[in-house]
Structure 1
Amino acid sequence: TLHTTQTRAHTMVFSLPYVPANTSSWGPPKDEDINNPNNPMNKWANLPYAPYSRGDRISGRSADFTSTWKSNNDRNDGRRTRESSSGKNANEEFQYKVEKSEQASFQLVDTAKAPKRFVAPAKKRAQQQSRLRQLNARARGGNEQQKDTGRYNQPQRTRRRNNWGKGGNNRRNWHHRVDRQASVAVKADWVVVDEITFPILSKQRSEDLPSEEDLFSCGFLDQYNDAYERVTSKTAVPLKRFENKEFYPVTTTDDPVIENLAIEQSGNVFATDVILAHLMASPRSVIPWDIVVQKLPNGTLFFDKRDSSQFDFLTVSETANQPPLRSDDDPEGINSPERLSLEATTINQNFSQQILRQSKTPNNQSHRKNFDLPNPFYDEDDGAANGMEPASVAYKYRRFTLGDIKLVCRCELHGLVQKRGEEQTMTAFALNEWDSKLSGGINWRDKIDTQRGAVLATELKNNSCKLAKWTAQSILAGADQMKIGYVSRVTKSNAYEHVILATQFYKPKEFAQQTTLSVNNMWGIVKMLVEFFGGKDEGKYVIMRDPNKPILRIFSVPPSTFEEDDNDEEDEE
């Protein structure tokens, strides 16, 4: 009895599993007992299942927060990519998923320590530097084709340090960067009409050059003094001051002759040679400037300048790598941009008169040629009372016809010269040396006699825009010769005394070719601007060069703009 009781205590109850009966065929029946709790289909109905083959590698975890990091590492490591590419994202159903609201507030904190940077021992670094010096020495000792490779064999940090010590381009551009101010303040009621980049201006071309026609000639011209052809650095001539000569930088709308020509409808575009030459050479400009354009109801255009602008003052080292800068210690110093501009303008005016023959008596005018009309800006009563006389300048009013464009321009000539028994007209301009060390040029007194081409090449680099404007003015005036003088200070610290070191004649069109100044591009720029304003409404516009970007901005301004400044000047007078 005891044995039977113990056997029953250890006996386990065994129940048969659910086996559906199929009376029609082998296997489980199609219609199973869904309500039966032992039905395995009900037990595993909501269990996710991802099928895979034996060759697939199961990757991923129930809560895998590093799957993105692992996938990035897999892309960087080709070996691990090949091993895990077959099983990647194969079992996404098993990965932990959270709602977007919870995901936004979740942050992963990485407590792993960053690996320490490996630094080679001092002895090892010395060996590497010695090895680099040997490689560079071998490169320098090779042929000319292998000389430049020594610099590239250096480490990047070494090259950067060497460039800094030698005044590399990056350091130079950073140190001499100039943030200039606009030539005129833009007001709130000005509206930007268009923007034109300098590359677009440089690509303009006029297939046909305009036809030229002389309308009027005013003033007089004196003969050129041939003695200045023999001037050298050893026989330098002091530059004189002509304080009794008057120059008239009159703008377009203030010219009485242009006013009469506009009334007679002799053209549909009016300008001066200085304004047109500035537009033609505008892609080379660096210093900001502005030009006023007025369009009348009949479509006539007037290109003007503001009376209070610095438009008539010459620039100095405008396109140089190291242009003159204003010093905070001495803002009014002789080498400040404003003082240099005034000095260059005065030199240019005095030089244009000194190289001409001067009569010893006022009545002797055998060397002078008078044109049909007198100087339109000279007042004989005021001039005689003050002992002033007009400078030797002839104003030629010329009409250029380019298709439907009839442009009337006032041009200037400065003298007459005899070339091979023929009388030719000339223009005269002066380049000035102020400080060769500060301007980045060469000493003129050492090179002007033997290497004048090198001096001119340096000036073409430092004053590209100014020389292009002079060339354009000479071409517009139809001058046969362009005289360029080389004027230098007596001493670097004296901005009031100068000497003429040399002079040189150039033919304007040939000089334009030598300085890569395209006449077709010059007229292409003018044609583009005239056609642009021809499609606009009547009113007043301003063409402004951006002070720090190579862009021309065109503004539409109220008709009364700049008239207040003119009224203030009249009240002061």
Structure 2
Amino acid sequence: MASGFALPELPPVKSAWGPPENISVARDDVPYAPFSKGDRLGKIADWSVDQTKDGREQRGRQGPFGGRFRDQYQTYGYGSSSIFGYQHTEDESSFSVIDRANVNRSRTGGRGGGTLLKVRGRGQNNQRGGARGGRWGGRGGAETTISRSNGPGANRGRRYGWKDYDKHQRNRNASVTVEPSWEMLDEVEFSHLSKLNLNVTKCETVQTCGYIYPYDKALDKISVKTERPLQVLDRVHYNPTTTEDPVIQQLAVKNAAQIFITSSILSLLMCSTRSIYPWDIVITHQGDKLFIDKREGGPFDYLSVNENAYDAPLETDEKDNNNSASALSLEATYINQNFSVQALRESDKDKHSLGAPNPFYNPSEETEPLASHGYLYRKFDLSLESDNTPVNLVVRTEVDGYTKTPANDIQYVSIKALNEFDPKVLNNTSTADWRTKLESQRGAVFATEMKNNSCKLARWTVEAILAGVESMKVGFVSRANPRDAQHHGILGVVAYKPRDLASQMNLSLSNGWGIVRTIADICLKMPDGKYVLVKDPNRSILRLYSVPLNTFEDSESGAAESSSA
């Protein structure tokens, strides 16, 4: 030992533990770090380990035990580096209203030879439903798994409903071109239409026409194993507009009502808040009467397919594409016309006449036989307590067939068909293959159709209720080959009561009548003339235009001349 070394003077202490009682005796340039006598020491001291922001111990291999006993000891001085570190005050220049932080992404192997992309977001903003949790996740940083595989399990992990805002935009064209001479009078959003209500209870049948056949109950026994091919039956089907109906013309002369319309147009107005595709109707105001018409060749002559689906069919320029929106609409109309005829037992003995003959059929000019249709002209009272004069509406409704009760009473039947084109086209896990799921999960299949075809099924239900139909027969018709749009098979038929189906679909008739009465009041206050109600092709908005009286007359006459040629 060197001769010049001497021990420093230590302050006196009364116990062998803890700091000296006179803290000022210690060095002033060394701050005091508090500790507890109950701390279990694994190391004497470790001043280099930082403490995490949330106060938890930092994970990893620390010390000779590799972190295996980190819950049993705490190193003296742990986290002290952050205590002595300089904390800078907040810099207001870095403040931003928008969170521009990147989302952490990690890739792991997925089933089916694909890749699973795990996205972990920042709190509730990562979820579709905000702070309440999205449809496919809960609160906070929930994890969503998206499959990006082209293998056998490609769609197994796909979660729909999340990040809907990020899907490609579907810009549709308007059903009619708005001319510069048209004057826009009013526009209303669907959110306002959904708040309207009018209870309509008074109804009477003013006239009946046509004839119908009994429903073939053998179709109720059809299953996937006993599939029956859809027959091509040439029958004449009529769907004239309101002003071309001779019965409505006679009722208008007799002042039977103030509003005249057909059930196909009325059902769309009542279910307009469910519509996605563009459409338009023509309203003519003459004196104290309104005539609500469709355009020839417009959307009312064809049925939509998967209009309300997540991936609705798109319109393409390919001529051979059987899955485009227009091709599927034509196919669905063709299926419904043939199915409504095949589902009946056509025999003169069972033929039921409704009174007057079909007002649109001329046997001397038509070579093909007439399809079975019954027309019921019914009057509904839309009056309010504040009305000085009653407001009545006459609508032409249709029935397709009838059944008999045990008491031998006749009940009207509405016959419709849902069609499946190709379950793999939509690439949607919620679209089940009918041939594999229809027998065991028929309720789930129909629930999917109610979601994908909400507007079409709601219109069918409203039309059945307006006609006083007791039962709806809905057939499931699928392609024999997914690539062949000409041959189909009937896989089953389900019967529903219209009122029960409306309740199941959350369909409010009082809301529909409120929409019709509101539009009628707006047009009745306008001067005599012609108006067009247009559904915006890409937004949930209705617009009312005032148009010249000769609008659409040139196109209709040209179409008639071309068809006759």
- So what's the TM-score if we normalise by structure 1? 0.69
Partner of 2:551: 561
Q: 1:459 is paired with a residue of what secondary structure?
A: helix
Match for 2:237: what amino acid? Answer: F
- Deviation of 1:569 (Å): 2.2
> Are positions 1:186 and 2:172 aligned together?
no
**In the comparison of the two structures, how many residue pairs are matched?**
419
- Deviation of 1:150 (Å): 9.6
Partner of 1:24: none
- Given that 2:144 and 2:159 are in contact with CA atoms closer than 8 Å, whether structure 1 keeps it comes out as no
- Deviation of 1:151 (Å): 8.9
- Deviation of 1:570 (Å): 3.2
- Deviation of 1:538 (Å): 1.1
- Deviation of 1:527 (Å): 1.2
- Deviation of 1:546 (Å): 0.3
For 1:392 and 1:487, locate their aligned partners in 2 and report how far apart those are by CA, in whole Å: 20
For 1:150 and 1:80, locate their aligned partners in 2 and report how far apart those are by CA, in whole Å: 34
Name the Cα RMSD after superposition: 2.6
For 1:284 and 1:164, locate their aligned partners in 2 and report how far apart those are by CA, in whole Å: 32
Partner of 1:239: 230
Partner of 2:193: 201
- Deviation of 1:448 (Å): 1.1
Match for 1:377: what amino acid? Answer: F
For 2:137 and 2:346, locate their aligned partners in 1 and report how far apart those are by CA, in whole Å: 62
Partner of 1:466: 456
- Deviation of 1:389 (Å): 1.7
Q: 2:411 is paired with a residue of what secondary structure?
A: strand
Task: Output one character per residue of 1:200-234: Cα deviation in whole Å (capped at 9) or x when no partner.
Answer: 1111111x314111111100010011101101010
> Are positions 1:416 and 2:399 aligned together?
no
- Which of 184, 196, 212 is the equivalent residue of 1:221? 212
Distance 1:466 1:162, change over 3 A: closer
Distance 1:151 1:187, change over 3 A: same
Partner of 1:337: 325
For 2:553 and 2:262, locate their aligned partners in 1 and report how far apart those are by CA, in whole Å: 20
Q: 1:246 is paired with a residue of what secondary structure?
A: coil
- Given that 2:415 and 2:474 are in contact with CA atoms closer than 8 Å, whether structure 1 keeps it comes out as yes
- Deviation of 1:174 (Å): 4.0
- Deviation of 1:373 (Å): 0.4
Match for 2:222: what amino acid? Answer: V
Unaligned runs of 5+ in 2: 1-87, 93-118, 121-132, 150-157, 384-389
For 1:209 and 1:400, locate their aligned partners in 2 and report how far apart those are by CA, in whole Å: 7
- Deviation of 1:436 (Å): 1.1
Rg: which structure is higher? 1
Identity fraction in percent: 40
- Deviation of 1:162 (Å): 6.2
Equivalence map 1:252-271=2 (5 Å): 252-271=242-261
Partner of 2:380: 400
> Are positions 1:375 and 2:358 aligned together?
yes
Match for 1:370: what amino acid? Answer: S
- Which of 495, 499, 506 is the equivalent residue of 1:509? 499
Partner of 1:356: 344
For 1:456 and 1:428, locate their aligned partners in 2 and report how far apart those are by CA, in whole Å: 16
Distance 1:79 1:395, change over 3 A: closer
Distance 1:153 1:203, change over 3 A: closer
Distance 1:150 1:255, change over 3 A: closer
Partner of 1:65: none
Partner of 1:107: none
- Deviation of 1:372 (Å): 1.3
Partner of 2:299: 310
Q: 2:546 is paired with a residue of what secondary structure?
A: strand
Match for 2:321: what amino acid? Answer: G
- Given that 2:145 and 2:159 are in contact with CA atoms closer than 8 Å, whether structure 1 keeps it comes out as no
Distance 1:373 1:314, change over 3 A: same
Match for 2:396: what amino acid? Answer: R
Match for 1:340: what amino acid? Answer: L
Q: Tell me which protein shows more helix as a share of its residues.
A: 1
Distance 1:229 1:193, change over 3 A: same
Distance 1:568 1:455, change over 3 A: same
Distance 1:405 1:235, change over 3 A: same
Equivalence map 1:113-152=2 (5 Å): 152=140
> Are positions 1:320 and 2:309 aligned together?
yes
- Given that 1:176 and 1:322 are in contact with CA atoms closer than 8 Å, whether structure 2 keeps it comes out as no
- Given that 2:137 and 2:144 are in contact with CA atoms closer than 8 Å, whether structure 1 keeps it comes out as no
Match for 2:169: what amino acid? Answer: R
Distance 1:163 1:548, change over 3 A: farther
- Given that 1:164 and 1:171 are in contact with CA atoms closer than 8 Å, whether structure 2 keeps it comes out as no
For 1:517 and 1:551, locate their aligned partners in 2 and report how far apart those are by CA, in whole Å: 20
For 2:90 and 2:271, locate their aligned partners in 1 and report how far apart those are by CA, in whole Å: 62
Q: 2:510 is paired with a residue of what secondary structure?
A: helix
- Which of 525, 528, 531 is the equivalent residue of 1:541? 531
> Are positions 1:391 and 2:371 aligned together?
yes
For 1:78 and 1:377, locate their aligned partners in 2 and report how far apart those are by CA, in whole Å: 85
- Given that 1:332 and 1:339 are in contact with CA atoms closer than 8 Å, whether structure 2 keeps it comes out as no
- Given that 1:398 and 1:410 are in contact with CA atoms closer than 8 Å, whether structure 2 keeps it comes out as yes
- Given that 1:484 and 1:505 are in contact with CA atoms closer than 8 Å, whether structure 2 keeps it comes out as yes
Partner of 1:430: 417
- Given that 1:210 and 1:401 are in contact with CA atoms closer than 8 Å, whether structure 2 keeps it comes out as yes
For 1:149 and 1:510, locate their aligned partners in 2 and report how far apart those are by CA, in whole Å: 33
Match for 2:398: what amino acid? Answer: E
- Deviation of 1:350 (Å): 0.7
For 1:179 and 1:501, locate their aligned partners in 2 and report how far apart those are by CA, in whole Å: 35
Partner of 2:271: 281
Match for 1:270: what amino acid? Answer: F
Partner of 2:64: none
- Deviation of 1:149 (Å): 8.7
For 2:242 and 2:90, locate their aligned partners in 1 and report how far apart those are by CA, in whole Å: 78
Distance 1:401 1:447, change over 3 A: same
Equivalence map 1:79-158=2 (5 Å): 152-153=140-141
- So what's the TM-score if we normalise by structure 2? 0.70
Partner of 1:552: 542
Match for 2:513: what amino acid? Answer: W
Q: 2:403 is paired with a residue of what secondary structure?
A: strand
For 1:281 and 1:331, locate their aligned partners in 2 and report how far apart those are by CA, in whole Å: 32
Partner of 2:280: 290
Partner of 2:487: 497
- Deviation of 1:152 (Å): 4.4
- Given that 1:485 and 1:502 are in contact with CA atoms closer than 8 Å, whether structure 2 keeps it comes out as yes
- Deviation of 1:80 (Å): 11
Partner of 1:211: 202
- Given that 1:485 and 1:503 are in contact with CA atoms closer than 8 Å, whether structure 2 keeps it comes out as yes
- Given that 1:430 and 1:485 are in contact with CA atoms closer than 8 Å, whether structure 2 keeps it comes out as yes
Task: Output one character per residue of 1:44-97: Cα deviation in whole Å (capped at 9) or x when no partner.
Answer: xxxxxxxxxxxxxxxxxxxxxxxxxxxxxxxxx97999xxxxxxxxxxxxxxxx
Distance 1:321 1:373, change over 3 A: same
Distance 1:311 1:173, change over 3 A: farther
- Deviation of 1:419 (Å): 3.5
Match for 1:341: what amino acid? Answer: S
Structure 1 segments of 4 or more deviating over 3 A? 77-81, 148-154, 159-176, 419-422
Task: Output one character per residue of 1:393-441: Cα deviation in whole Å (capped at 9) or x when no partner.
Answer: 0011111112122101110000011244432111111000001122331
- Deviation of 1:176 (Å): 4.0
For 1:268 and 1:151, locate their aligned partners in 2 and report how far apart those are by CA, in whole Å: 55
